[in-house]
Amino acid sequence: MVFGGVCPSVTSIIAESLQGWNLVQLSFAATTPVLADKKKYPYFFRTVPSDNAVNPAILKLLKHYQWKRVGTLTQDVQRFSEVRNDLTGVLYGEDIEISDTESFSNDPCTSVKKLKGNDVRIILGQFDQNMAAKVFCCAYEENMYGSKYQWIIPGWYEPSWWEQVHVEANSSRCLRKNLLAAMEGYIGVDFEPLSSKQIKTISGKTPQQYEKEYNNKRSGVGPSKFHGYAYDGIWVIAKTLQRAMETLHASSRHQRIQDFNYTDHTLGRIILNAMNETNFFGVTGQVVFRNGERMGTIKFTQFQDSREVKVGEYNAVADTLEIINDTIRFQGSEPPKDKTIILEQLRKISLPLYSILSALTILGMIMASAFLFFNIKNRNQKLIKMSSPYMNNLIILGGMLSYASIFLFGLDGSFVSEKTFETLCTVRTWILTVGYTTAFGAMFAKTWRVHAIFKNVKMKKKIIKDQKLLVIVGGMLLIDLCILICWQAVDPLRRTVEKYSMEPDPAGRDISIRPLLEHCENTHMTIWLGIVYAYKGLLMLFGCFLAWETRNVSIPALNDSKYIGMSVYNVGIMCIIGAAVSFLTRDQPNVQFCIVALVIIFCSTITLCLVFVPKLITLRTNPDAATQNRRFQFTQNQKKEDSKTSTSVTSVNQASTSRLEGLQSENHRLRMKITELDKDLEEVTMQLQDTPEKTTYIKQNHYQELNDILNLGNYTESTDGGKAILKNHLDQNPQLQWNTTEPSRTCKDPIEDINSPEHIQRRLSLQLPILHHAYLPSIGGVDASCVSPCVSPTASPRHRHVPPSFRVMVSGL
């Protein structure tokens, strides 16, 4: 046999050629994986394990710590590439993923950075000690060290190899302390030079005794890591020859070992088989060959506090891994994870926050219930009755629905299931929308009735009952329902989960938290929200218009315009602010829920308080003051042809039917009194006339003088209501009015002195006192206490202040 071969290039050539010489070769130092090819090197054996022998040991270590995801970093050298390729084959099918495979020639930093980018935590390195320093410097720069990472590299480097290469590392901006910090905890894998077991070997010595004798005999010569394998190699040769001789002795050929020659393939085969059957315990452990490869012992060392400590070993023969107790140390509280453990955590609404806001909501609902009780209990009070108690109930109902939506907004995945949450998305939207429309729709409908009664004179005798207001509110709700039903049918709200970037664990564990947040969304969310906001905005504008138009109504029980304006202002501002803040804090559910809940609570509370607190205070202090002063004044730009006419009416409380009937009865009585006065006045006038003619005509040129005579100061300052009644009376008695005709139609009576100024003055001197004292007080004109006409036909011109456009007819009355 041939014993030896250290350099891989030389050993491979010899091993390939020995097949032709019928010789078996045994090496004690050639570890290159190339020589493991039995087709090419069938007669090659070695007592030293191959570089590939560490791969089964690495596999065992990975399984021991349940590392199922690794990455490789390999130097572009054939020796390391072959080990990496063999490792890939070993890990394949063992449920261990090689997530990234990187290689480098001179600068490993790019490869190290890629490994970090692929979230590789367990790095299997194959590189020499010079490149190892560069690798760990790059790892330090990329922060790929510490409790989250584990480096596994070759363990056959020179002792204190970092002391020899750190100078070069310093030149690459990596200080020695930085290099040691990055190296801390790495695990080296290499074959065991001598067995640690204190068992006598085939030589009769324990491995420890052999080592002691070896150190004594080498006398100052540097030790070799292969001396134990060379020693066991000699014993392998001896045992092989012994078994070969025994085989020859047992055969019938009676052939001796000395008869060996290079062409005797039979004897060569006997020696080859004897080599394969080798099995004994040597100083390097159990010596066994499998396909020419030594099944040796692999040791694991760990870099701890600037020194390498043996932490375990792997027995290839028994396929067992032994970790020495309490020797391996990880920088964290537990072994590193093979990847970033992503804990998907649903961002939940804080239970204390939900409880606090729910308590505030309950208080708001209790307040709304108190207002409802107050409204129902005092519904027959004049103040409450005039403010439409049924509409007030709807306002309270809308507020309570808005309050109830807060409970639903606070329910998320921590309280309900996914299916229930998706249902709540729709329910809470419906409740809040309907509650808003119910509250403000009732408020605006009530204001519309005041506007319709007191703004349009033609409707003064028309009763607008609560049923019509309910229809108006129902119409507003119908629009809401149409929008919501179309929304639900075409593009319903769904539960969506938004994933955010990973965050470190607050507890310091080696995990990353990926926050998840539930949303209620659909495909065209912006469009649907725009439709709802547009409708609600128009409703608010309509309410502002009504509040402005009825601002001058002087009955406090009916005029809520000031409070409506305040409600619309507060709700509008709060909704705008709340929507903006809610959108900006959508990734913070606690803040978003707090903003939404507070906006709803504030808007509902301020609206209810503005509507009911003034009524409650007025009812307790002066309930009659709100129903007194029934004159409603309106100001509105009318058409050009109506701008010259000033119409005044006496307001009628349309909210109370009984009150209306009383006023109508009083009006009828006054009309009857006017008729009686007209008859008396006509009889007196006929008695005073000097001619039997019943119809008189006043010439056109006497109108100005008559206007001056009838310019009564108190009459012109009378109320608009009196003028309206006077006008109504004239309209009902057109036959009694004076007729103005053209001069061609004037009768040319021979007795023309009847219409002379003297006769006219005489008649008016008697008619005006009657009109002044009897008729005008009935319609709110001059005071009946006036004992004489306020003006006379001879009054000075400065007292004549009737505009020439007015023509007052007296004789016709």
CA-to-CA separations, 710 to 415, 648, 686, 811, in angstroms, rounded:
85, 21, 20, 12
Q: Are residues 478 and 433 in contact, defined by beta-carbon separation less than 8 angstroms?
A: no
Taking the alpha carbons of 8, 11, 12, 13 in that order, is the dihedral positive or negative? positive
Q: What percent of the chain has pLDDT over 70?
A: 74
Q: Which CATH architecture does the domain made up of 346-621 adopt?
A: Up-down Bundle (1.20)
Contact 724, 800 (CB under 8 A): no
Distance between CA atoms of 51 and 29, rounded to whole angstroms? 11
The region that residue 500 occupies, defined by phi over 0 for left and psi between -120 and 50 for alpha, beta otherwise, is: beta
The Cα–Cα gap between 789 and 775 comes to 13
> What is the distance between the terminal CA atoms of the chain, rounded to a whole angstrom?
157
pTM of the model as a whole: 0.58
Task: Return d(Cα 256, Cα 462) in angstroms, integer.
Answer: 141
Tell me how far apart the alpha carbons of residues 236 and 289 are, in angstroms, rounded to a whole number.
10
What is the pLDDT confidence band of residue 682, given thresholds at 50, 70 and 90?
confident
* Residue of 246 and 174 predicted with greater confidence: 246
Give the architecture-level CATH label for domain 51-191.
Answer: 3-Layer(aba) Sandwich (3.40)
Q: Residue 751 — very low, low, confident or very high, per pLDDT cuts 50/70/90? A: very low
Question: For the chain, where do the domains classified as CATH 3.40.50.2300 start and end?
Answer: 1-48+209-214+224-283, 51-191
CATH architecture of the region 1-48+209-214+224-283: 3-Layer(aba) Sandwich (3.40)
Q: What are 208's two structure tokens? A: 């420890």
Residue extent(s) of CATH 1.20.1070.10 domains in the chain: 346-621
pLDDT of residue 527 exceeding 50, the answer is: yes
pLDDT (tens digit per residue) in 202-212: 999 999 999 99
Q: What is the pLDDT of residue 765?
A: 58
- Nearest by Cα to 119 from 133, 100, 147: 100
Q: Residues 558-591: pLDDT tens digits?
A: 556 667 767 777 777 777 787 777 777 777 888 8
Over residues 437-458, the pLDDT tens digits come to 888 888 777 778 777 766 654 5
Give 247-265 pLDDT, tens digit per residue. Answer: 888 887 677 888 888 888 8
- pLDDT band with cut points at 50, 70 and 90 for residue 557: low
